[in-house]
Amino acid sequence: MKKQIVVVLGMHRSGTSVLANSLVRLGAYPGRNLMPGDSANPRGYWEDINLVALNETILKRLNQRWQSIDNPLLNRCEHFLPLLEEEFLARAIQLLKEHLQAADTVLIKDPRICVLLPFWKLAFERLGVEVKYVLALRNPLNSAQSLLKRDLIELEQGVKLWAYYTLMAIAQLNAPLLISSYDSLLGNPTQELHRLALFVGSNATVTEWSPDELTYLDATLRHHHQDGQKLEGLLGKEHIVVRMYQTLLDAANSDTWMPGDEVRKLSLRFANPLAYDLGYRGSENVENYAQVFIDTGEGFSEHQSQRSNFQGRYRLEISLVNQGPVEHYRLDPGLSCCLAIVHQAVFEHEGLPLPYEIIGGNYQVRLADRVFLFENDDPQIVYRLNGQPVSRAVFRISVFPLDEFAYTLLNSLKMKQIEELNSALSGLERENAELNERIRLHEATIEEWRLASEEKQLSLEENRLALEKWQRLAGENKQLAEEQKLEAEIFIEALDERKATYAGAKQALFRSVMRIARIIGHPRRSWRIASDKRRLKPLFNEYYYLYHNKDLREGPFDLLEQFTIAGWKEGRSPSPKIHMESLLRDNPNCVLNPLLTAKNKTIKEVILHVGLHKTGTSSIQESLYLEKNNQLLESKGILYPRSIAANHSVAFFSLFSEYPESYHMNIKKGLSEAEVGFANREYVRILLDELQKREGDKLVISGEDISKLSANGLIKLREFIHSVSSRDLNIRVVVYVRHPMKWAISAIQERIRNGVTGKTAWGEIDTELNGLFQKRIQKFVDVFGSDCTSVYSFEQALDHPQGIVGHFLSNLDIKSDTLERLRIIRSNESLSLIAADLISYLNDRVPLTVDGRLNPDHREQEFALLHKVRGPAFDVPPEYKERISAQASGDIRWLSERFAIHYSNMEISSLPPAIVLTDEAVEDIRAASSQMSEPLKSILFEYVNQRLPGARAHS
C-alpha cells in the first residue's frame, strides 16, 4: 500500500482533537509520543510532542507565538523558507520517516501547522508521499469562547485568531481539501465518519459501528454552542469572518471534498478583505528591485548592469550570462536600509565553479558571507574575481526592511553563530585535555625509567650493559616527550590565538547588539526599574505569570523584573484580576506602564494653547509659570505644569513627533537618539507625578511648536490627554494669529536669534509662508473639531488691559480682580536692525552646528549680549515684503472667511532699510565685546570695519 500522510488543519479549540481521534479510529497512525490530555481536553490532543516542540521552535525563530496574528498577505514562513529549510528541515523529515516506518497512513496534527504550512509542504515533497488535508471547522464564536475560558483571550481577539489560522491554512493549499464541521461530527457522526473514510481511503465500515464505538463523540463535552445567528448578531451579516465561515460551512455540508483549484480561488476571495479586517491596510508588497553591476576593468556603470524585481516582497534570483574576464561584481540588494541574506552566490565558467572573495561593501554588520545589515540608503556588496572569465553568475537573495522583526532575526542568527563558536571551542578544549593527559603519561614513564636507572646503578658493574640500554631508551623517550611538549606548547599558543579571536568576535558582537539596542530604544535605568518593581510587587502573582507564559519557564531570571521592563508592553497579565491587553488597548499611546500611572480625575477640561509663533506665547508661558502666579491660578482651578520647562514645546513636540531626534531643541542639547527616548519617558513620568499631586478642573498646556506636529502626532497627543484624565473631558484648542507681514518680520529675527543667518532665515520663511496659517490651524480643526478650536487676532488681544496674557486668561473665566493681582511678564522683545545684521554675520562665521553637532565655539550667552544693541527697529527690504504679501494673500482670505479675522494689505515703502551705527549702538557693542572671548571679539570688530562705512571713527 502506498504511504500517505493525513494532515489535520484548523484553529485551536475548533474540534481538531475530536477530528484527529476519528481519523485514528479510521486507521491513521498518530505516533507513540503523544501529548496527554488535561482538564481542557480530557480525551487527549493526538499531537506528537516532538512535532509540537519543533513548531514552537520555528515560531520562536520567526519571533512569533501560537497566539500571534501577522499579516496573512505577507506569510513570513514562506519568505524565510530558505533559512528554515537549512536549520529545521532535516529534523522534520526524520520525524516523519519514523512515523512512516510504523504505518502506511500517518496522522499529523498541530494547529500551528496552519501558519507553518509552507515549511511542512516542503518536507512532504522531499519525502515524496501522498498528502491529504482535512480542515476542522467550528463556529468562530464557539472557538473564541473556548479560548477565553482556557487562555483568557478576549472574544474579539479569539475570532480574529480563528480567521487568521483558517485563512493561512487554505491560502497555502493547492490540493484537495475535506472540510469537516464540528457540529456535524457530533450531531450526525455516522455520515461524517463515512465522508472521512472515503476521503482518506479507509476500509473501515462505519455504518456497522456499534453505539459503544461512538461514545467518544460525546456532545456533552461541547461547552460552548452558539449558532450562526449569534455570530451574525455580534459581527454583522456582511462581516468578512461571517461570510468566510458560512462559505466553508456550505462546503462542509456537501457530500464531497473541494478540489485544489477551488481551494485556491476561495483563499484569494477572502485574503485581502480579511487582511484589512485584521488591521493590515493594504498589500505589503513594495515596489523594489536589486541590481548587479559588472566591472570588466573599467569600473562599474549602468550599461553593464542588470536589475530584477523582487518575487513577492523579499525573495529574488538574478542570473547573468557574460563572456570575457571580470574583475568585480557589485550586488546592490535594495534601495534603502535593509537586512540582506545571500542564500547563493555562484560564479561559473563553462560549468566549473570559480573562486571569489567579498572585498567590501557599505554594510554595518556581516555574519560569515551570508547575512548583511545595511543602515544606509545605498546597500552594496562587492565580489572580486581577479579577471577570471565568467560565463554564468547567479545570485539568490532575500531582503527585509529594518523593522523590529529584522533585528530580532539578526540577533537570532548571531546567537546561533556564537553557539557554533562555543561548540568549536569546546572541541579544542577537549583535544587540549587529551594532549595534556598524554604528556602526563610520558612524564610518568620517564620518571619510572629514572627510578629504574638509579636502582641499576647499585650493581653498575653487573648491569652496565643493561644500564646503557636503559639510558639510551630514557634519552629517546625524553626527546620524544620534549617533542610532544613542544607540540603541546604550539597547540596551546594556537588555542590562545583562537580564544583571542573568539573574544574579539564576542566584543564585536556586543558592539553590534548595543548599536541595535540604541536603534530600538535605550533601557530604563536600574534605579527606576527597582522603584517600579517595588510598586508593582503587590499586584504580581509569580505562579500565575509563569503558568500563562510558557516561553519564560526556561529561566532562570527575575520574572517581576521581566514584567516591569518588557512584559507589560507585550500584554502579559501579572495576575488573574488584571488583564494587561485591555489596559493597553484603553491606553494605546502610553509610554509608561498603565499600572504605574494614576489618572487625575479632577481635570474636566484641557486648554491646548499652540501659539502660533510670534504671538506672545513666551509672555503667556512665563507669566503662568511664575510661582506666585501659578499658585494663585491653581486656587482658581487652573493648573499649569511646573515640573517641565515653562514652554511645553520641548516636552510635547519631542513626545509626539515622528522624528524627535531631529527636533532642533534636542540637537541644541546634544542628545543622542537613545537619550531622547529616555528624556521623553522622564517627561511623562514627572508630568504624571505632578498631576497626581495637584487638583484643578482646567489643565493648560502651552507650546507653539505643538502647531508643527503632524495630524498623526496630534491624534497621539489627544489620546495621551485622555489617558491621564478621562475619556469624557473636553479639549479646547486656543490659537493666536497676527498679520502675516508682521509675523514674517518677527519670525526672521527670531530665527536669527536662534542661530541662523538672515539669508537662511528668509529662505525658510519664504518656503513656509505659502498657506502656513491654514496648514497649521486646519489639522487642529480636523483632529479636535471646529467647535473646540478657537482662533483669535493677536493685534486685538493686545488691546486687553493686561495684554495678551489677560486676554488668554479671561477666556478661561478668570475675573479682572484676579488678573490685576498677577505679575505679567513680557519677553522676546524685538531686535534692532543693526543687532540682527550683526548676529547674522556672527552666525555665518561661527555656525550653531557643524556636521550635525553643536559647535562648542558658538556660545549662546555671548551672542545674547548683542540682543539689546539699540538702533532702528528690524525690517526687511521692499522686495521681501512684496513677496510676503503675494505668499500670504491666501491665508488672509482664509482667515477672513473662516474665522472673521480681517487683515488688509500693508503699505510697502520703496526705500530699503539702512543700517546706521549710532552712538548708542557703539556704546552697546563696546559693552558687549568686553565680556566676549577674543576670537568672537575679533569677528565683531571685523564686522564693524567691513560692513559699516565710517565706523572706524566711532570705534
Q: What is the pLDDT of residues 206-240, one digit of tens each?
A: 777 777 677 777 666 665 566 667 777 778 888 88
| Confidence band, pLDDT 50/70/90 cuts, at residue 876 | confident
Q: Where are the beta strands (DSSP E) in 783-935?
A: 789-793, 849-850, 853-854
Q: How far is CA 909 from CA 742, 769, 878, 880, 916, in A?
A: 14, 21, 6, 11, 18
Q: How far is CA 801 from CA 471, 792, 807, 829, in A?
A: 118, 16, 8, 19
Among 151-160, 568-577, 909-918, the minimum mean pLDDT is found in 909-918
pLDDT at 329 over 70: yes
pLDDT given for residue 496 in this prediction: 64
- Residue 119 buriedness (CB in 10 A; 0-12 / 13-18 / 19+): buried
| Confidence band, pLDDT 50/70/90 cuts, at residue 282 | very low
pLDDT at 516 over 70: no
Cα end-to-end span (Å), the chain: 110
Beta-carbon-side half-sphere exposure of residue 854 (alpha carbons within 13 Å): 14
Residue with cell 464531497: 256
Contact, 186 vs 36, CB < 8 A?
A: no
Give the mean pLDDT of the chain: 82
> How far is 597 from 600, CA to CA, in rounded Å?
9
> How far is 445 from 454, CA to CA, in rounded Å?
14
pLDDT given for residue 565 in this prediction: 84
pLDDT given for residue 630 in this prediction: 93
Three-state SS for 380? coil
pLDDT given for residue 517 in this prediction: 46
pLDDT at 277 over 70: yes
Three-state SS for 541? coil
Contact, 254 vs 267, CB < 8 A?
A: no
Give pLDDT tens digits for 676-718. Answer: 888 888 888 888 888 888 888 899 999 999 999 999 999 988 8
Cα angle vertex 540, ends 535, 544, to 5°? 170
Give pLDDT tens digits for 366-385. Answer: 876 788 888 887 899 999 98
| Confidence band, pLDDT 50/70/90 cuts, at residue 468 | confident
pLDDT given for residue 226 in this prediction: 61
pLDDT given for residue 923 in this prediction: 87
Residue 291 CB: number of other CB atoms within 10 A?
17
* Residue 752 cell numbers, joined: 536669527
> For 206, which DSSP code?
G
Greater model confidence, 500 or 937: 937
Greater model confidence, 265 or 622: 622
Distinct helix (H) and strand (E) counts, the chain: 36, 22
Sign (positive/negative) of CA torsion 499, 504, 510, 512?
A: negative
pLDDT given for residue 202 in this prediction: 84
3-state helix/strand/coil string of 503-523: HHHHHHHHHHHHHHHHHHCCC
Residue with cell 462505519: 206
Residue with cell 508643527: 708
**b (16+ CB within 10 A) / e for 448-475:** ebeeeeeebeeeeeeeeeebeebeeebe
Greater model confidence, 190 or 954: 190
Contact, 109 vs 46, CB < 8 A?
A: yes
pLDDT given for residue 514 in this prediction: 45
Average pLDDT in the 632-645 region?
Answer: 92
pLDDT at 456 over 60: yes
**b (16+ CB within 10 A) / e for 695-721:** ebebbbbbbbbbbbbeeebbbbbbbbb
* Residue 855 cell numbers, joined: 559647535
* Residue 7 cell numbers, joined: 494532515
pLDDT at 513 over 50: no
pLDDT given for residue 619 in this prediction: 92
Rg (CA), the chain: 38
Average pLDDT in the 796-809 region?
Answer: 93
pLDDT given for residue 954 in this prediction: 44
| Confidence band, pLDDT 50/70/90 cuts, at residue 133 | very high
Q: What proportion of the chain, given as a percentage, has pLDDT over 90?
A: 24
* DSSP sequence for 278-306: TT--S------EEEEEEESSS---GGGEE
Give pLDDT tens digits for 575-632. Answer: 877 888 877 876 666 667 777 765 656 788 999 999 898 898 999 999 999 999 999 9
Q: Can you name the residues that pair with 178 across neighbouring β-strands?
A: 134
* Residue 360 cell numbers, joined: 567590501
pLDDT given for residue 498 in this prediction: 57
